[in-house]
Amino acid sequence: MFQSQFTHLTKLLKSKIIRLFVLLALLNNLSGCTYLIVKTAATDLPTGTIVDDMWLEQKTDYTLTQALPSNAEIAVGSYDRTVMVVGVVPTVSIQRKESELLEENNLIKGYYNLTVVNPYPPSVSVVEDYALTKLVETNMIGEIDPLKFKILAFNHVVYLMGYANAQDHRMALKVASHTAGVVSVVDAIKPYPIYPTAPVQYIPT
């Protein structure tokens, strides 16, 4: 009996330590060559690789940036190899080109191209958007596990991706919409069990 209790305690401690290191990696934007296989809940969410998503974000951002004109402003996020592209592009043809490039990437399971067309893009602060992303993540701690979601900010609009049950879904939207500096929240969270056709919703704060 003692042996079984000890084994259970060891597994529990290991799982908490792993989740702590993953959380620290997200909050500090760390990268590395070690693959961290993360299951964001014990039984109900798909297994994804954080490093895979980070690499896919960088690769997609580079590919799109090389193909876009200098007056386009975009940001890229990935969750479980579903990619979201947000920002501003000058023409509809450029927007279509983005979608074509995303379609050609066999590593992407699915994508959201949420860029808007504006020939006169607003001035966007990458530093402010990064800080806002981290602020939303920090505010989630204690309320909900931020590892369940991909949080992306662009021009004070927060975009959420991931898989969640109804309770966690509502909490994520509440935390994001009540974070200082957020003007609106775009909801691309899929309910679990996963329904691939779940629509993207735009939620004013």
> 37-86, pLDDT tens digit by residue?
222 333 344 555 778 899 999 999 999 999 999 889 999 999 988 999 99
3-state secondary structure of 112: strand
CA distance 115 to 23: 29
> In tens digits, what is the pLDDT along the chain, a chain of 205 residues?
434 443 433 433 333 333 333 333 333 433 332 222 222 333 344 555 778 899 999 999 999 999 999 889 999 999 988 999 999 999 999 999 999 999 999 889 899 999 999 988 777 788 999 999 999 999 999 898 888 899 999 999 999 999 888 999 999 999 999 999 999 999 999 887 655 545 555 555 5
* Tokens coding 144: 């909900």
How much helix, strand and coil, in percent to the nearest 5, is found in the chain? Answer: 40, 25, 30
For 184, the token pair is 């609106």
As a whole number of angstroms, the distance between CA 160 and CA 137 comes to: 11
Task: Give me the amino acid identity at 100.
Answer: E
Distance between CA atoms of 205 and 185, rounded to whole angstroms? 7
Which of 79, 76, 38 is CA-nearest to residue 58? 76
The candidate with the shortest Cα–Cα distance to 191, out of 163, 158, 153, is 163
Instruction: Please give the model's pTM, rounded to 2 decimal places.
Output: 0.71
Looking at residue 108, the DSSP 8-state letter turns out to be: -
Contacts of 137 (CB under 8 A, 6+ apart): 26, 27, 146, 151
Sign of CA dihedral 134, 86, 75, 156: negative
Per DSSP, the three-state class of 59 is helix
C-alpha–C-alpha distance, residues 74 and 85, integer Å: 7
